[in-house]
């Protein structure tokens, strides 16, 4: 298992660059992945929780919170990871994030 404190940008020919908040400057270009750019899987479901992670990577915390609220309304099972996933660290001090954790039933 990779320690998030030493994680580096990872890249493979079939996946986009992974950015860990606080480790390097976020990407400034539009976010695409190889399968979608090639026109495959264009109707795949993407959880609002995953969209929130994209906005966190772009340092757009307000948009990230908006999509986490959508994920809550969708009853996304991915929300159970909010408390332990280091990618959500930029939101931990946000009162809206703390309220979301409370509503989900996760300890604060």
Residue pLDDT, tens place only, 20-67: 555 555 555 445 454 555 566 567 888 999 999 999 999 999 999 999
Judged against a pLDDT cut of 70, whether residue 85 lies above it is answered with yes
Confidence (pLDDT) at 15: 42
Higher per-residue confidence, 16 vs 43: 43
The pTM of the whole model exceeds 0.85: no
3-class DSSP assignment, residue 10:
coil
Q: Please give the Cα distance from 82 to 40 (Å, whole number).
A: 30
Q: How many domains does the chain have?
A: 1
Cβ pair 29, 20 in contact under 8 A: no
Residue 19 lies inside a defined structural domain of this protein: no
Domain that holds residue 86: 43-104
Residue the block writes with tokens 């404190």? 5
- Mean pLDDT of the chain, nearest integer: 76
* R_g of the chain, CA atoms, integer Å: 15
Instruction: Evaluate whether residue 86 is within a structural domain.
Output: yes
Within-domain flag for 87: yes
Q: Give domain status of residue 2, yes or no.
A: no
Distance separating alpha carbons of residues 26 and 101, to the nearest angstrom: 26
Structural domain contains residue 36: no
């Amino acid at each position: 298992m990779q320690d998030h404190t030493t994680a580096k940008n990872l890249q493979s020919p079939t996946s986009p660059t992974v950015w860990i908040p606080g480790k390097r400057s976020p990407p400034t270009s539009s976010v695409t992945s190889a399968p979608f750019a090639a026109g495959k899987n264009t109707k795949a479901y993407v959880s609002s929780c995953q969209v929130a992670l994209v906005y966190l990577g772009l340092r757009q915390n307000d948009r990230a919170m908006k999509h986490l609220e959508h994920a809550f309304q969708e009853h996304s099972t991915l929300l159970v990871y909010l408390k332990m996933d280091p990618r959500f660290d930029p939101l931990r001090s946000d009162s809206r994030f703390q309220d979301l954790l409370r509503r989900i039933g996760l300890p604060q």
